[in-house]
Structures are given as structure tokens and as C-alpha cells.
Amino acid sequence: MLRYLNQCSRGRGAWLLLALTALALEAVALFFQHVLGQKPCVMCIYERCALFGVMGAGLVGAIAPKTPLRWAALMIWLYSAVEGLRLAYEHTMIQLHPNPFVTCDFAARFPAWLPLNKWLPSVFVATGDCAERSWTFLSFSMPQWLIVVFAAYLLVAVLVAVAQPFKPKRRDLFGR
């Protein structure tokens, strides 16, 4: 399996699939916001940023998967998955154990050199409350589902990282 994961990480298809899954999740988030009227909170916005990081990792890996750029993509993927998992867990704890002393900020804080909330307010401006559970599916709220999503991203990223030293087997004409 590790040889197979190594082989996949050296092709564009797997990296594009990674980017496509993150893009699909971003599209679902925007559907919930703009079509169903769900208001994203600050933690939701930060979780979106982590998903954009996973998508960016997929695009970076697809650029040149057989070069060391693959390692940069893998590091972006690991970092984004860890941060997304941390944020989703923190958001879930805010929802499951509401406390007036532990709340999220009123507005997302982005660095001055990357004011996403000013560049694209329809995606990065928070208007909701972090403690509100406005949507559930199979009794899990959205941040609980994101724990599952980011844990899956992290698990696959770790497996791909572990698989890097395992070179695919070379096959000759006679199948040895």
C-alpha cells in the first residue's frame, strides 16, 4: 500500500483529486451560506481557510509532482489538516459546552498583507455565532463533521508522507 501511495503522490491525478475534494467542501459551505441562509461564524471562516490550504496543497502538488515541490505540497497539506482539525475541535467544544467566558471573536482576524475579509467579503466575513448549532446531520453539527473531514485528510497525508521513501517496484519485460 505504501508503494502505491508513493506512486500516486508522483502523479497529478491524486493531487488534483485532493484539490477537488476541498473545492467541493468549499462549494458546500458557500451553498449553505448563500442559498440556505446559514450564517458563518469566525471559527467557520477559519475552518474555510484551512480547507483552502488543503486545496492549495493539491494545486501545488499537481504543478510538478515528481519534483521536490511535492514535499512542499505535502507540508502544506499536513499543516492545513492539523490546523483544520484543531479549529474544528475547538469549535465543537464551544458548541457542546457553551460558556459566556469562552466565545469566538466578533470578526475574523487576517494579517494586514492578506485581508481576505476585505478582498472577498462574501466568503470571509463572519456574521454568525460560534455556539449556535443551526444545522445537524445524523445528530452531528457542521464542526463535528469537519473533525471527521480533517482527520481523514490528516490520516491520508501522514500515510503519503510515510510512503515517500518506498519507491515503486520497477517491472521489467518478464515481470520480475
State the catalytic residues: 41, 44, 48, 104, 130
What distance in Å separates the CA atoms of residue 127 and residue 158, rounded to the nearest whole number?
A: 35
What distance in Å separates the CA atoms of residue 155 and residue 92, rounded to the nearest whole number?
A: 20
What distance in Å separates the CA atoms of residue 68 and residue 89, rounded to the nearest whole number?
A: 32
HSE-up of 41 (CA within 13 Å, CB side)? 21
Q: CA–CA distance from 38 to each of 34, 50, 122 (Å)? A: 7, 19, 13
Q: How many CB atoms lie within 10 A of CB 139?
A: 6
